[in-house]
Structure 1
């Protein structure tokens, strides 16, 4: 939903307008129109969209529940600024969820499922020499999301979905320093782990993969990550 296409007429009878506003705010954050620390003025947003404050308030409540918006006393809703502790919690939770997901996927994925990921990875490789493509971050995210799906674990999938936007935000920051070659290499190892069908090894590979990303983020931010020992991840 683009803000300039939202009119009173377009939302009359729309019971999911608050969900549309959630997606709008998320897109503005991803686009850099809203940045960590920026205020979201409910009255202003409602006026811009030509709607009442009620769905805006509902959207803010949902975003707050997802940890994307924080309500600051005397200031109101603001885009959350992730501290290093937040980043640690996001990555360490990913290590648990995705480690378990790939473990399950080694049992549940069909040969066709794995073949699809292998073909997708080959397409990623083909993009290495395409200068018009500057990032493979979305392709990498697709591989992770597919592994979650292949776990065939509904509650795990639901838990992962609840932090998925936070994952995207942190990955966006890290992805600015990532190279296409690194994305291809590091995500190829996940697919190879699935091919091997060794559940223990696949889980170790995934946990190492996510731990490495966390260390890269800490290095990017010049933060000492030694307090979070490798043994707490693997």
Structure 2
């Protein structure tokens, strides 16, 4: 009997998708900016078919919008949508932090502490991209080890969209020290396995971050 054969992973498509997603979430491409397929093909050295497939995937993630007579653009987030995103994120991240405190292994908790240290170093380096990468690593550790795959999946998708706001408003002179203090407090709660404290600190961290992000949107005239 003939065998159908092994399907190889579509690594090129994934790499194109990852490259464009990274450019959007780190602020290289700003909200509302056109994504010209020809330019993307030239910059990435790939075919137009690969670029179009990647853009369709990012449209499904709501990172890209396809506008009639204009084509693909980086998605924008309305003020009301941002409020909803942050409100839901505060609840889910509080839950994830609580579960992490209860279920994470000692190695997981050590990894979180190491990632928190990496975030502090990134902030000192003053590279927006490095800070975003360090924060993503920090959340990945907590979410991947909170014992709830569905919460992990939902929050990963939300973080991609929220990174659009972070990329343009993260370097806030007042917010960054407070954000680091909150992460340090969360790390301490994990070390002590204090689930109640971890839940409250994680939720409060998101609520405080939302104040900066929402103020930024208001200043930009978003409704």
TM > 0.5 fold call: yes
Q: Residue 151 of structure 1 aligns to a residue in which SS?
A: coil
Per the normalisation by structure 1, the TM-score is 0.74
2:181 counterpart residue number: 185
5+ unaligned residues in a row in structure 1: which ranges?
A: 1-12, 224-234
Count residues in correspondence.
Answer: 208
Aligned position for 2:146: 151
Q: Deviations over 1:16-40 (max 9, x none)?
A: 3222221222233355442221222
Distance 1:184 1:19 in 2: 33
Alignment of 1:158-177 (within 5 A): 158-177=153-172
Aligned to 1:77: 72
TM-superposed CA distance for 1:210, in Å, is 0.4
- Report the secondary structure of 1:20's partner residue: helix
Moved more, 172-181 or 82-91: 172-181
- Cα 1:143–1:16 change in 2 (3 A) is closer
SS in structure 2 opposite 1:181? helix
* Displacement of 1:47: 5.9
Which of these residues, 200, 216, 220, is aligned with residue 204 of structure 1? 200
Residue matched to 1:216: 212
Equivalent residue, structure 2, for 1:39: 34
**Cα separation, partners in 2 of 1:122 and 1:35, compared to 1, 3 Å:** closer
- Cα distance in 1 for residues equivalent to 2:26 and 2:139: 22
Structure 1 counterpart of 2:3: none
Give me the CA root mean square deviation. Answer: 3.0
**CA spacing shift, 1:42–1:95, aligned 2, 3 Å:** same
User: How is 1:1-234 mapped onto 2 (pairs within 5 angstroms)?
Assistant: 15-30=10-25, 32-46=27-41, 51-122=46-117, 127=121, 133-134=125-126, 136-178=131-173, 181-222=177-218
Q: 1:177 to 1:58 in 2, by over 3 A?
A: same
Structure 1 residue 221, shift from structure 2 partner:
4.1
Task: Indicate how the Cα distance of structure 1 residues 163 and 180 shifts in structure 2: closer, same or farther if over 3 A, else same.
Answer: closer
Q: Which structure 2 residue ranges, 5 or more long, are not aligned?
A: 1-7
Structure 1 window deviating more from structure 2 (66-75 vs 36-45): it is 36-45
TM-score (normalizing by structure 2): 0.77
1:166-211 Cα deviation digits (max 9, x unpaired): 2322222231114653343121111122234333332222111101
Moved more, 41-50 or 20-29: 41-50
